[in-house]
Amino acid sequence: MAEKFDHLEEHLEKFVENIRQLGIIVSDFQPSSQAGLNQKLNFIVTGLQDIDKCRQQLHDITVPLEVFDFSTWLCLHITRWLLKLRVSCLHSRQSKHRRGRAKCDGQKEFSCGGFAILF
């Protein structure tokens, strides 16, 4: 029975480490780090699958309800954090797009004004 707990503990530690690394990647996200982000997300999914397999092996164990309250809080917290991240990335993209468009508009005005002076 102890081996099952050790196995679950190992998977949980790997999962927590992957979440920590995901936080580092996301906090300083650049388009070039998309592959690393995708890889970490895949590791997290497989980690959750491994934890679920371990959970199925420990079906006869009772868990206090406080643990579920914390896990629910954690899931909500992570979801809100990811939503905020997505919104901030979208705002960043929009501002870059606006600056690029304004730069193009400025160049058009300058080139049109230059041609008017020449003719």
Residue 116 has pLDDT above 60, yes or no: no
Residue 7 has pLDDT above 80, yes or no: yes
Q: What is the pTM of this model?
A: 0.49
Q: Give the Cα separation of 107 and 111 in Å (integer).
A: 6
CA-closest candidate to residue 65, choices 77, 73, 56: 73
Contact (CB, 8 A) for 22 and 44: yes
| CA distance readout (Å), 1 to 4, 32, 52, 62, 96 | 5, 45, 17, 14, 56
Give the pLDDT score at 51.
85
Residue 20 has pLDDT above 60, yes or no: yes
